[in-house]
Amino acid sequence: MHKKTKRTIFLIAAAVILIILTIIFLFPIYMMTIFASQKSPPDYLKSSPLIYSNDFLNNLNKLFYDFAFIRSIINSIAIAVLSTVAQVISCTIVGFILTKYKFKFRNALFNIIIATMMIPTFVKLIPLYQMMLFLKWINTYLPFIAVSIGNPMGIFLMKQFMERGLPDEMLDAGRIDGLSIYQILFYVVFPVLKPAVAVLATLGFITTWNDYMTALVMLPNKDAFTIPIVLQHMLLNLGSSGTHGELMMAILVTQLPIIVVFLFASKQIIGNILAGSIKS
């Protein structure tokens, strides 16, 4: 009885703590929706700061009639998806080669790849811009895809996961069955690496979606603007061509794809981890 009482108290305390933390984490999103339902800061004082105003649907309607905003969402989704796919495929292949193939200077090459993570992004922007200008890739999606290919952090993540979760026996079984190296990658390696792929895809998508500096340098044309650039223009034009409510609504809408991607990926990660623990 004593142990049961302690366990009950512990579970109640843990539930209360989790509820409090959930409220703390969700409260900023809730306040964002409150501000998105109003027009300007004076409206925040007139109405209750925790209750929705009548301008929520009006701000949402204005936002989706803004062609520049809709175009920026399309650009951001296309860039984020293409960059994420390129990053996942390239990092998995490079990590697979560095993990399962023995060749001269393999460790030295891996150390050089990891060392490039120490170079600040701002240092690489000017030479990257000159390279993209030479290739005539400015105002296209290609610079983002090129930057995502062979991402050092992604290579490190996939290599570490393969060393622990991809036994050589599985690859040998695939070779015995007559699979080519490409078939082994897509039918053996990728299914085993679902948790790592989910983590890498989530990080890649969020990083590219929120990338402001690369978009600012590589996409000077208005037709190629992404979400961060459009949000900056909306902030600079407050009062002349927009309101605070419309800006907060735009920020709220642009967070939805990130939330959806994160929820989907977290489900995959947790599901595969639980499945692995059950098997073991």
Q: CB–CB of 184/174 below 8 Å?
A: yes
Question: Which tens digit of pLDDT belongs to each residue from 69-84?
Answer: 889 999 999 999 999 9
Q: Average pLDDT of 142-156?
A: 91
Mean pLDDT score of the chain: 83
C-alpha torsion 43→47→52→55, nearest 10: -40
Q: How confident is the model at residue 137 (pLDDT cuts 50, 70, 90)?
A: very high
Q: Who wins on pLDDT, 280 or 30? A: 30
- The yes-or-no verdict on residue 223 having pLDDT over 70 is yes
Rg (CA), the chain: 24
Average pLDDT over residues 148-164: 89
Nearest to 195 by CA among 86, 268, 279: 268
d(CA 243, CA 43): 11
Confidence of residue 90 (pLDDT cuts 50, 70, 90): very high
